[in-house]
């Protein structure tokens, strides 16, 4: 499978704290790749560096051969990267429809934007039902679905999700993950980070265990769940590397 995203020796530091230390990672076209790891492992730093939200101290991130590091967030969106940050940031006073339209602000193909909007309302009926309501009135699960659909409105090639299951009841997490697998079926490549290891493993083609700023173990769900080193890789290290 050819790689869409290639990460080589990516390092992210905050002052004297090294959050990521020379990470190598590759995500194939059409894959779902999961990064799992405990609190402070460096998961958000990884997504933020790819998206251009935090600067990298070194290394390279290419999307389809184009270097993404040093591009600001808006440019990375233009190149096809969409990110759903942790915490379901809807604009609470705007309606569901208005929130969705905001995801398409970089696009000029307005007829296609309208068609995409209708497509998402068909695919995710709960959004159609609530389309005229302020997003702040939606439940946590509905808000998570809204921010994912909003990110898809930019027509990304790569969708990055930061802990989409955080704080949601298990049944709702199932709905959010159904949406993630439907999104892959539409041809979008997905990189998801989670503390919810079981859920991420269940949908991912490949999972990497990140801990202390480094990838400790990688494999398919089957390989990882049968691996005696899994628990040590996930739980066994201090959360960050202090220099």
Ligand X SMILES: Nc1ncnc2c1ncn2[C@@H]1O[C@H](COP(=O)(O)OP(=O)(O)OP(=O)(O)O)[C@@H](O)[C@H]1O
Q: How far is the CB of 94 from Mg ion (least distance, A)?
A: 26
Q: Shortest Cβ distance from residue 211 to ligand X (Å)?
A: 9
Binding to ligand X by residue 207, rule CB under 6 A?
A: no
Enumerate residues 141-200 that contact ligand X by CB under 6 A: 195
> Token pair for residue 192?
């998801």
Least distance to Mg ion from the beta carbon of 28, Å? 24
Collapsing DSSP states into helix, strand and coil, what is residue 177?
Answer: helix
- Decide: is 239 part of the binding site for ligand X (CB under 6 A): yes
Cα-based angle 34, 37, 39 (whole degrees, multiple of 5): 135
Cα 172 to the center of its chain, rounded Å = 18
Nearest to Mg ion of 43, 130 (CB atom): 43
Q: According to DSSP H, which parts of 87-139 are helical?
A: 96-102, 110-123, 125-129
Q: Which is nearer to ligand X, 142 or 194 (CB)?
A: 194
Instruction: Determine, following the binding rule CB under 6 A, whether residue 68 of this chain makes contact with ligand X.
Output: no
- Minimal distance in Å, beta carbon 170 to ligand X? 19
Q: Partners of 214 in the beta sheet? A: 211
C-alpha torsion sign, points 78, 81, 82, 85: negative
What is the chain's Cα-based Rg? 18
Among 44, 99, 154, 189, binds ligand X (CB under 6 A): 44
* HSE, side-chain direction, 13 A CA sphere, residue 201: 18
Residue keyed to tokens 């892959």: 184
Least distance between ligand X and beta carbon 127 (Å): 27
Q: By C-alpha distance, which of 5, 132, 156 is closest to 78?
A: 156
Q: Least distance from C-beta 41 to ligand X, angstroms? A: 4
Give me the residues that bind Mg ion (CB under 5 A), please. 43-44
For Mg ion, the closer of residues 14 and 186 by Cβ is 14
Q: Which of residues 5 and 117 has its CB atom nearest to ligand X in the complex?
A: 5
Residue from the set 34, 43, 197, 221 that interacts with ligand X by CB under 6 A: 43
Q: Both tokens of residue 184?
A: 């892959």
Please work out the total of residues on this chain that contact ligand X, with binding judged by CB under 6 A. 14
Binding site for ligand X (CB under 6 A): 14, 17, 19, 37, 39-45, 195, 239-240
């Amino acid at each position: 499978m050819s790689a869409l995203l290639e990460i080589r020796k990516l390092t992210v530091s905050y002052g004297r704290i090294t959050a990521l230390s020379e990470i190598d990672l590759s995500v194939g076209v059409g894959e779902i790749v999961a990064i799992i790891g405990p609190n402070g492992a460096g998961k958000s730093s990884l997504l933020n560096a790819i998206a251009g939200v935090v600067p990298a101290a070194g290394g390279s991130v290419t999307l389809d051969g184009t270097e993404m590091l040093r591009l600001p967030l808006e440019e990375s969106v233009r190149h096809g990267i969409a990110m759903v940050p942790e915490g379901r940031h809807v604009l609470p006073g705007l309606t569901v429809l208005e929130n969705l339209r905001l995801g398409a602000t970089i696009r000029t193909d307005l007829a296609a934007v309208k068609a995409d909007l209708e497509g998402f309302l068909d695919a995710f009926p709960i959004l159609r039902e609530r389309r005229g309501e302020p997003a702040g009135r939606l439940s946590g699960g509905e808000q998570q679905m809204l921010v994912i659909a909003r990110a898809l409105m930019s027509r990304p090639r790569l969708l990055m999700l930061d802990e989409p299951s955080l704080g949601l009841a298990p049944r709702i997490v199932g709905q959010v993950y159904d949406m993630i697998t439907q999104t892959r079926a539409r041809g979008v490549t997905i990189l998801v980070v989670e503390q919810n290891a079981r859920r991420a493993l269940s949908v991912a083609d490949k999972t990497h265990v990140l801990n202390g700023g480094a990838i400790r173990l990688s494999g398919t769900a089957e390989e990882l769940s049968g691996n005696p080193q899994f628990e040590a890789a996930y739980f066994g290290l201090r959360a960050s590397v202090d220099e």
